[in-house]
Amino acid sequence: MSSGPVVAMVWQGLDVVKMARMMIGETNPAESLPGTIRGDFCVDVGRNVIHGSDSVESARQEISLWFRPEELTCWEDAAERWIYE
């Protein structure tokens, strides 16, 4: 995270850590599927372009490194009740 510009963000949603990890791909880009961020844009583990928390607990800790609580906004999508049971 010190080799170039960083965009820090917080995602929310149902099983968000699991879903984010699926989109990001395996830590080792060689093991990442095509269509994942690491599978399409990474070559080396040490330069894997993206980081994603591996659990809700580590996400909370990592979020606090970048954001103060008052900078975070939780929101509810109006369509959520039509999508999730």
Catalytic residues: 51
Q: CA nearest 56: which of 7, 13, 25, 17?
A: 17
Q: Name the one residue in this structure whose structure tokens are 């039509």.
A: 82
**What is the DSSP secondary-structure string of 37-60?**
HHHHH---GGG-S----SSHHHHH
